[in-house]
């Protein structure tokens, strides 16, 4: 038989032993550590009026985020829209506009091009695209192992060591921003250059844009110029109908934009 | 080269990161799980609902369902970019994802089939083990067999009437419980697609139900086909062995038994086919009638680019022709073979048209993607996601079935009742 004193001693050891790991689990919760600030929500603003389709942002992004330069995938890209006088819309994004738009003709794929005469053009414009860091991200919902997650400051991240590469998140994203990284062979996407913005820098594409078409800010700060524009200006978001609640806002969004 | 670039051809306006990411293996996955579920439902028709005419095929389809089960995993592993991490789905499931339920549903279903199989074959295990135990001077192979069967009995040697009644009861309960689980296993494969709101072709609440119905159709068709093939082989063996041993059944006797089973089973096949086609057509009509934003591009895919695949191969050759073949009076074995093969083609094309067809258009609704199945592999990726990988998955269950038949004899087995 065990003595009462011994029993109490063992009981205390067991309780202490059990409670310690539980407490430890709470301490290492990564989102609390890195992005637990209540007063921070990253927000992005694209002014399509200012974009000229130079592709500096795409190049900067590829280099900054180590996406193989010649791989036909990209975290951000620029689309060109040309609407003709008879109401037809043409759009293209040759290699994501990494080299800008060097050809006046519209790239129709399969090596075909469409020549549109100047006098037939009603309007033409460029639209940069990137991850929308949705409030209700379908990619996070469908990940079977929780390798992609949304941190409280709004950015959706991918854990390269945990992703199994099933591609369900790629299928789930209506914006087509996700792809398989050619080197790591796991899901990859824009994360507003999380490694930069958490250190007080701007996203690489924002810094690279010579015309200020791309801006990043904090939606919780009422004095932030981006927040002010989004609140006071006439802005739009992409593919509202999917209920994803995107956080990349567009100035001068046209109905032709897909 | 980026994953998917090899087999994707883009046309018009497609987002730069879009490729056909889910390829032939993801076509094989619902096709194989469908066969598992269908074979199981067929075996349950006898065990639960007491459809006596299906007795012979029910044992057969149960073993076949068990052989198909591990193969349903194979295409999933082959399509993963990180197959070694596949186990994480079971270890750290993220339950908002439809795929996360996979580990649980699959294991539960596997356990149900395995235990049902055990109860069905328990008497056989015991008898074989006892017979081998009595035998003096066992050879090495017999010794291995003895040990295997002794292990398979799990120490339950009781063969009294009472014990066997309990076995039958357990089989009935397990078969009954297995039907909803089999439907869930496959319905959830449909849910994986049906719940992707980003994909206009996939997103419909009908998807799980359509998947279940077509699963049962394909499962029954494959069971009939395999049953006929094994019966034909048996007939050949019997005819060959009869020469020295005239006591064995005549191949004519086997033949009449065969056609009876086949005719009976095809009735259920036709029934489930009607259900599956009705739902598929309902979905199509509904899409056209409501004509939401995505309908323009869907119409161009369904009635244009994929017309041959959908209306000729799937609905025409895969549904209409076998439907007529099976309903015509005086069914023959040859006609049944042709009809069930076409049914299998039809269900395969349905999976193809859902999985590949769903990626045939861009999320921009302004461009298309063509899938070119890699035929001759030139690296590991084009092997596993090409024709060779698909064939590998297609052949695997038959090899497994052959192996399992060595342990669980499907035909020459004493009656368990």
Q: Which residue is closest to A178 within chain B, CA to CA?
A: B17
Shortest Cα distance, chain A CAs vs residue B302, angstroms: 20
The reply to whether B140 touches chain A by the CB within 8 Å rule is no
Query: Which region among A123-127, B68-72, B81-85 has the lowest average model confidence (pLDDT)?
Result: B68-72
Residue B295 scores a pLDDT above 60: yes
Does the beta-carbon distance from A173 to B198 stay under 8 Å? yes
Confidence band, pLDDT 50/70/90 cuts, at residue B47: confident
Contact status, residue A125 vs residue A48, Cβ threshold 8 Å: yes
Question: A15-40 pLDDT, tens per residue?
Answer: 888 877 666 666 555 555 555 567 89
* Partners of residue B90 in chain A, C-beta under 8 Å: none
Does the beta-carbon distance from B366 to A171 stay under 8 Å? no
Does the beta-carbon distance from B366 to A258 stay under 8 Å? yes
CA dist A149 and A158 (Å) reads: 7
* Partners of residue A65 in chain B, C-beta under 8 Å: none
Beta carbons within 8 Å of A224's beta carbon, 6+ residues apart: A43, A217, A218
3-state secondary structure of B70: helix
* Partners of residue B76 in chain A, C-beta under 8 Å: 166
Nearest by CB to residue B199, choosing from A71, A140, A171, is A171
Residue A165 scores a pLDDT above 90: yes
pLDDT for the residue B60: 83
Confidence band, pLDDT 50/70/90 cuts, at residue B38: confident
**Reported CATH class of domain A42-134+190-251:** alpha beta
Q: Which residue has the higher pLDDT, B249 or A93?
A: A93
* Nearest Cα residue to A44 out of A241, A158, A205: A205
Instruction: Give how far Cα B216 sits from Cα of A133, B204, B271, Å.
Output: 41, 20, 10
- The mean pLDDT value for B4-27 works out to 95
Q: Which residue is closest to A77 within chain B, CA to CA?
A: B16
Shortest Cα distance, chain A CAs vs residue B18, angstroms: 6
- The mean pLDDT value for B135-157 works out to 89
Please state, for a pLDDT cut of 70, what percent of chain B lies above it. 96
pLDDT for the residue B375: 94
pLDDT for the residue B102: 80
Cα-trace Rg, chain A:
23
* Partners of residue A256 in chain B, C-beta under 8 Å: none
User: Which 374-393 residues of chain B touch chain A by CB within 8 A?
Assistant: none
* Partners of residue B18 in chain A, C-beta under 8 Å: 176
- The mean pLDDT value for B115-124 works out to 92
Residue B314 scores a pLDDT above 50: yes
- The mean pLDDT value for B230-241 works out to 81
Does the beta-carbon distance from B100 to A144 stay under 8 Å? yes
* Partners of residue A180 in chain B, C-beta under 8 Å: 2-4, 21, 81
Q: Which residue is closest to A174 within chain B, CA to CA?
A: B198
Return the CATH fold of B24-118+167-195+379-417: Formate dehydrogenase/DMSO reductase fold (1.20.1630)
Question: A138-162 pLDDT, tens per residue?
Answer: 999 999 999 999 999 999 999 999 9
- Give me the residue label for tokens 């099933």: A166
Q: Which residue is closest to A73 within chain B, CA to CA?
A: B17
Q: Copy the structure tokens of residue A81.
A: 């829209």
pLDDT for the residue B105: 87
Does the beta-carbon distance from B22 to A167 stay under 8 Å? yes
| Mean pLDDT, chain B, integer | 89
Residues forming beta bridges with residue B361, ordered by sequence position: B368
Does the beta-carbon distance from A258 to B293 stay under 8 Å? no
Confidence band, pLDDT 50/70/90 cuts, at residue B245: low
- The mean pLDDT value for B127-147 works out to 89
Does the beta-carbon distance from A168 to B99 stay under 8 Å? yes
- The mean pLDDT value for A166-190 works out to 96
Q: Copy the structure tokens of residue A30.
A: 């990564």
Contacts across the A-B interface (CB distance below 8 Å)? 147
- The mean pLDDT value for B11-26 works out to 95
Shortest Cα distance, chain B CAs vs residue A80, angstroms: 10
Strands (E), chain A: 42-47, 77-84, 89-92, 106-109, 112-114, 121-129, 148-150, 156-158, 179-180, 187-188, 214-218, 235-236, 248-251
* Partners of residue A175 in chain B, C-beta under 8 Å: 15, 363
Q: Which CATH code is given to the segment(s) A135-188?
A: 3.30.70.20
Order the strands of the A121-129 sheet from edge to edge: A89-92, A77-84, A121-129
Confidence band, pLDDT 50/70/90 cuts, at residue B223: confident
CA dist A81 and B14 (Å) reads: 13
Shortest Cα distance, chain B CAs vs residue A147, angstroms: 9
3-state secondary structure of A163: coil
* Nearest Cα residue to B262 out of B334, B317, B357: B334
* Nearest Cα residue to A214 out of A60, A104, A100, A66: A60
User: Which 269-328 residues of chain B touch chain A by CB within 8 A?
Assistant: 293
* Nearest Cα residue to A203 out of A216, A212, A187, A213: A216
Domain boundaries, chain A: 42-134+190-251, 135-188
User: Which 353-372 residues of chain B touch chain A by CB within 8 A?
Assistant: 362-367
Residue B34 scores a pLDDT above 80: yes
Does the beta-carbon distance from A242 to B197 stay under 8 Å? yes
Confidence band, pLDDT 50/70/90 cuts, at residue B412: low
pLDDT for the residue B51: 78
Contact status, residue B385 vs residue B29, Cβ threshold 8 Å: no
Residue B341 scores a pLDDT above 80: yes
Confidence band, pLDDT 50/70/90 cuts, at residue B415: very low
- The mean pLDDT value for A91-95 works out to 95
Please classify residue B267 by burial: count the beta carbons closer than 10 Å to its beta carbon, then call 0-12 exposed, 13-18 middle and 19+ buried: middle
Question: A208-230 pLDDT, tens per residue?
Answer: 999 999 999 999 999 999 999 99
The reply to whether B190 touches chain A by the CB within 8 Å rule is no
Does the beta-carbon distance from B192 to A92 stay under 8 Å? no
Nearest by CB to residue B16, choosing from A74, A162, A173, is A74
Chain A contact probe: residue of B198, B199, B366 with most A CBs at under 10 A: B198
Does the beta-carbon distance from B364 to A176 stay under 8 Å? yes
Question: B251-263 pLDDT, tens per residue?
Answer: 677 777 788 888 9
Confidence band, pLDDT 50/70/90 cuts, at residue B53: confident
Nearest by CB to residue B21, choosing from A96, A109, A171, is A171
* Partners of residue A164 in chain B, C-beta under 8 Å: 80-82, 85-86, 88-89
Instruction: Give how far Cα B182 sits from Cα of B203, B271, B376, B384, Å.
Output: 22, 18, 35, 27
Confidence band, pLDDT 50/70/90 cuts, at residue B417: very low
Which helix (DSSP H) or strand (DSSP E) does residue A80 occupy? strand A77-84
pLDDT for the residue A36: 57
The reply to whether B24 touches chain A by the CB within 8 Å rule is no
* Partners of residue A143 in chain B, C-beta under 8 Å: 94, 97
């Amino acid at each position: 038989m065990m003595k009462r004193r011994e029993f109490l001693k063992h009981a205390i050891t067991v309780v202490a032993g059990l409670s310690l790991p539980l407490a430890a689990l709470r301490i290492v919760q990564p989102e609390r550590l890195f992005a637990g600030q209540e007063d921070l929500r990253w927000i992005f603003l694209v002014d399509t009026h200012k974009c000229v389709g130079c592709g500096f942002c795409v190049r900067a992004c590829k280099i900054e985020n180590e996406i193989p330069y010649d791989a036909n995938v990209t975290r951000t890209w620029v689309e060109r829209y040309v609407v003709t006088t008879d109401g037809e819309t043409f759009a293209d994004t040759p290699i994501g506009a990494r080299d800008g738009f060097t050809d006046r003709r519209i790239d129709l794929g399969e090596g075909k091009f469409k020549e549109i005469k100047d006098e037939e053009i009603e309007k033409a414009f460029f639209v940069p695209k990137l991850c929308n860091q949705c409030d209700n991200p379908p990619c996070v919902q469908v990940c079977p192992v929780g390798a992609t997650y949304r941190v409280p400051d709004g950015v959706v991240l991918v854990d390269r060591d945990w992703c199994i590469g099933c591609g369900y998140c790629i299928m789930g994203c209506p914006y087509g921003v996700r792809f398989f990284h050619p080197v790591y062979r796991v899901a990859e996407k824009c994360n507003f250059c999380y490694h930069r913005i958490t250190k007080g820098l701007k996203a690489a594409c924002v810094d690279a844009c010579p015309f200020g078409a791309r801006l990043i800010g904090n939606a919780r700060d009422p004095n932030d110029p981006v927040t002010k524009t989004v609140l006071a200006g006439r802005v739009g978001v992409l593919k509202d109908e999917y209920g994803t609640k995107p956080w990349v806002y567009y100035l001068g969004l046209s109905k032709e934009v897909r | 080269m980026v994953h998917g670039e090899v087999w994707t051809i883009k046309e018009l306006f497609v987002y730069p990161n879009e490729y056909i990411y889910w390829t032939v293996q993801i076509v094989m996955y619902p096709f194989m799980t469908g066969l598992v579920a269908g074979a199981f439902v067929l075996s349950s028709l006898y065990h639960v609902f007491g459809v006596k005419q299906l007795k012979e095929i029910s044992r057969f389809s149960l073993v076949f369902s068990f052989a198909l089960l591990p193969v349903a995993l194979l295409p999933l592993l082959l399509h993963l970019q990180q197959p070694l991490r596949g186990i994480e789905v079971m270890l750290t499931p993220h339950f908002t994802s439809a795929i996360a339920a996979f580990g649980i549903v699959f294991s539960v279903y596997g356990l149900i089939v395995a235990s049902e199989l055990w109860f069905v074959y328990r008497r056989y295990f015991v008898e074989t083990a006892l017979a081998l135990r009595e035998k003096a001077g066992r050879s090495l192979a017999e010794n291995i067999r003895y040990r295997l069967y002794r292990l398979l009995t799990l120490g339950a040697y009781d063969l009294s009437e009472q014990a066997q009644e309990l076995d039958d009861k357990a089989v009935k309960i397990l078969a009954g419980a297995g039907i909803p689980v089999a439907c869930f296993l496959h319905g959830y494969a449909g849910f994986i697609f049906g719940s992707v709101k980003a994909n206009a072709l996939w997103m419909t609440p009908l998807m799980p139900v359509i998947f279940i119905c077509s699963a049962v159709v394909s499962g029954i068709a494959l069971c009939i086909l395999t049953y006929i093939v094994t019966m034909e082989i048996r007939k050949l063996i019997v005819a060959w062995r009869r020469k020295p041993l005239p006591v064995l059944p005549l191949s004519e006797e086997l033949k009449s038994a065969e056609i009876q089973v086949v005719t009976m089973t095809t009735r259920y096949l036709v029934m489930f086919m009607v259900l599956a086609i009705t739902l598929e057509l309902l979905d199509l009509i509904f899409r056209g009638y409501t004509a939401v934003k995505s309908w323009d591009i869907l119409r161009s895919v369904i009635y244009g680019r994929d017309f041959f695949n959908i209306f000729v191969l799937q609905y025409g050759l895969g549904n209409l022709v076998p439907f007529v073949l099976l309903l015509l009076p005086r069914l023959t074995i040859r006609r049944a073979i042709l009809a069930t093969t076409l049914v299998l083609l039809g269900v395969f094309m349905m999976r193809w048209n859902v999985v590949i067809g769903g990626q045939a258009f861009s999320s921009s609704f302004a461009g298309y993607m063509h899938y070119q199945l890699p035929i001759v592999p030139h690296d590991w990726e084009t092997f596993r996601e090409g024709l060779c990988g698909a064939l590998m998955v297609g052949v695997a269950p038959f090899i497994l079935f052959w192996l399992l038949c060595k342990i669980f004899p499907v035909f020459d087995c004493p009656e368990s009742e």
